[in-house]
Chains A and B, each alone.
Chain A
Amino acid sequence: MTDRQQKLASAALIVSVFVLWEVICLLAGISELVLPRPTQIVSAFLQFAHAIWPHAWQTLYTTLVGFSFGVLIGLSLGVLIGSSKLAYNTAYPLLVGISSIPKVAVVPIFVLWFGAGTVPAILTAMIICIFPIVVNVSTGIATVEPELEDVMRSLKASKWEILWNVGLPRSLPYFFASLKVAITLSFVGSVIAETVASNKGVGNMMLIASSQFNVPLVFSGLMVLAAMGVSLYAIFAFLERRMTGWAMRKDLT
């Protein structure tokens, strides 16, 4: 299958899922209170577009701010842990412990500290995406080939020079792979926080819509989230290709 055919097949699958959804709902007579048809969702989206926009912006804003902090912290921790075996072994159990806490459970604590609103959403988005970045970056740095390290050390390269010339570039593919995971996780984080404790954001909007039994609006909230998630994923996938093409050799030749 050529690349073009592959893309056509993917698009056809997506379209047919929606068509099937529409047809099944029509034939089975499913109420829009249970499962609205795609056409109903789109019309709800158009009808409430003005009301949806501020919420969408809010969610995008908290997600991106939280994600940026998460990347900064994750990258620094990853470099720190990856460049020393001692730090790696010492810090790993703690990191695993922190990462195994369901992040929904910390939202009430953030609300207790900072009040409901934007801050808990940012913090949740941040904390949920740190761990995959730390793990990936530190793995990338810690797995530099020993021969290569010996070559560098025999040239009397400092630890910093080895990190800058070998460790960091080598961990870039791991880093970008983790960014794709992290950005989607950040959305999960901010939407959870908005649902639990906020009066803004798509999560909050969906909560209110469902309490008013406006199910098509709930689903258009989902659509908006999916659209934002896919777009950001695509942006990072593109960046990954540009920055680390060398790691995906087949794509280049």
Chain B
Amino acid sequence: MSQPDFVSFEGVGVTYGSGKDATEALCPTDLTIAKGDFVAFVGPSGCGKSTILKLVSELMKPSQGHIFFGGRELGAKPVRVGMAFQSASLLPWMTVRDNVMLPLKIVEPFKASFRAKRQGEYRARVDALLDQVGLLEFADKSPWQLSGGMMQRANLCRALVHDPDLLLLDEPFGALDQFTREELWQTLQALWIERKSTVLLVTHDLREAAYLANRIYVMSARPGRILDTCPVNFARPRPIEVTFEAPFVQLTQELRRQIVHAPARNKADAA
């Protein structure tokens, strides 16, 4: 880990509106994420988890504080990010392959030679990725011909195809059934082990966070703030069975306890 502070927040807060109507969405927050780390944010709905991803991807500007990326303030130079949301939002008029290729059409330096390489190098790149997640035989299908799990696999590929510095996942498996979800955890873990991308995962599934992440940030209800940071030290690659063993169950119960008891703590802080 050459750059320990790959992403860092210094007093970053978000407030919507102004004056009397102002609502604080995210309390001033400090955090650092190392390059190649896999962190998860868990917490109740509306706790500002997604806000953190929007800040990092520059979809939203902080109301206060500073965000640094690789030692420079965010915005100074473009950061390459890949995002995936709960809805796969693939474009129905394109094949799965073209959907995954879309970022190469938009992000530099791939964009510059897109016309020249789309049939050759880029196609091979996309197909290799699709093969890794087991979708290669569906590359020429339309998105609506895929199952929900397959669509999310394609969505993951689209978020990864341009080798992003940061992979931002906002409840990507939220709409899937348990078995499909566990399959996709394994797929994502395999991709991460191979690529060592820096991943920020937002989820309210505590098992998902504990299975996938190296570190879990536990957040309180609105206004969001980080209550605790839990390291997760299970050896990789983690087999799915690990989620049924005692240490894992203990960890998720501890996370659950912190989130459930958070409001009480909040009041105590205020008093």
Q: Which of A's residues lie within 8 Å of B, judged by CB?
A: 145, 147-148, 150-157, 161, 165-166, 169-170, 172, 244, 246-247, 249, 253
Nearest CB of B to A253, in Å: 8
Chain B interface size, under 10 / 10 to 19 / 20 to 34 / 35 or more: 20 to 34
* Complex partner residue of B83 from A154, A165, A247, A249, CB under 8 angstroms: A154
- 13 pairs of residues in contact across A and B, judged by CB atoms under 8 Å: A147-B87, A150-B57, A150-B59, A151-B83, A153-B57, A153-B59, A154-B168, A165-B106, A170-B91, A246-B142, A247-B92, A249-B144, A253-B145
Within 8 Å CB of A169, what residues of B? 91, 93
Of all chain A residues, which has the CB nearest B50? A150
Cα A41 to Cα B133 in complex, Å, equals 67
Cα A247 to Cα B94 in complex, Å, equals 11
Within 8 Å CB of A247, what residues of B? 92-93
For residue B32, CB closer than 8 A to chain A, the reply is no
* Contacts beyond the supplied A150-B54, A156-B107, A170-B93: 12 A-B pairs with Cβ under 8 Å: A145-B89, A148-B91, A150-B85, A153-B59, A154-B81, A154-B168, A156-B106, A165-B91, A244-B93, A246-B93, A246-B142, A247-B93
User: What sequence of 0s and 1s flags, for each residue 117-153 of chain B, a beta carbon within 8 Å of any chain A beta carbon?
Assistant: 0000000000000000000000000101100000000
For residue B102, CB closer than 8 A to chain A, the reply is yes
Within 8 Å CB of B102, what residues of A? 165
Of all chain B residues, which has the CB nearest A155? B106
Cα A155 to Cα B58 in complex, Å, equals 10
Q: Which of B's residues lie within 8 Å of A, judged by CB?
A: 54, 57-59, 78, 81-87, 89, 91-93, 102-103, 105-107, 142, 144-145, 158-159, 162, 168
Within 8 Å CB of A147, what residues of B? 85-87, 89
Cα A154 to Cα B57 in complex, Å, equals 6
Interface contacts (Cβ under 8 Å), in number, total: 59
Of all chain B residues, which has the CB nearest A144? B89
Nearest CB of B to A200, in Å: 43
Within 8 Å CB of A150, what residues of B? 54, 57, 59, 83, 85
Within 8 Å CB of A154, what residues of B? 57-59, 81-83, 168
Within 8 Å CB of B58, what residues of A? 154
CB-based contact A151/B78 at 8 Å: no
Within 8 Å CB of A249, what residues of B? 142, 144
Within 8 Å CB of B107, what residues of A? 155-156
Given A156-B78, A246-B142, A247-B92, A161–B106 Cβ distance below 8 Å? yes
Cα A154 to Cα B158 in complex, Å, equals 12
Nearest CB of B to A239, in Å: 15
Within 8 Å CB of B158, what residues of A? 151
CB-based contact B59/A246 at 8 Å: no
Within 8 Å CB of B159, what residues of A? 151
Within 8 Å CB of B162, what residues of A? 155
Cα A151 to Cα B103 in complex, Å, equals 9
Cα A246 to Cα B145 in complex, Å, equals 11
Cα A119 to Cα B211 in complex, Å, equals 72
Nearest CB of A to B64, in Å: 22
Nearest CB of A to B30, in Å: 23
CB-based contact B87/A145 at 8 Å: yes
Nearest CB of B to A40, in Å: 50
CB-based contact A166/B106 at 8 Å: no
CB-based contact A157/B89 at 8 Å: no
Within 8 Å CB of A161, what residues of B? 106
Nearest CB of B to A157, in Å: 5
CB-based contact B106/A157 at 8 Å: yes
Within 8 Å CB of A166, what residues of B? 91
Nearest CB of A to B145, in Å: 8
Nearest CB of B to A167, in Å: 11
Within 8 Å CB of B89, what residues of A? 145, 147-148, 151
Cα A155 to Cα B78 in complex, Å, equals 10
Within 8 Å CB of B84, what residues of A? 151
Cα A246 to Cα B168 in complex, Å, equals 29
Within 8 Å CB of A151, what residues of B? 83-85, 89, 158-159
Cα A138 to Cα B90 in complex, Å, equals 21
